[in-house]
Amino acid sequence: ARLKHFRAIATRFDKLARNYQSMIYIACMLIWCKAK
């Protein structure tokens, strides 16, 4: 549910799967850093 806070992931602006996957990785790292 926290990934939905990132607009680019929720709406999937990126056309390429590679860019979309990298955006998910960045969002997960940010969420993980905020949790610690």
Instruction: Write out pLDDT tens, residues 15-33.
Output: 788 877 888 888 899 889 8
Q: pLDDT-based confidence at 1, cuts 50/70/90?
A: low
Residue (of 15, 12, 16) closest to 27 by Cα position: 12
Instruction: Tell me if the pTM is above 0.75.
Output: no
Residue for token pair 């926290």: 2
15 torsion bin: left (phi>0), alpha (psi -120 to 50), beta (else): alpha
Q: Is 3 a residue whose pLDDT tops 80?
A: no
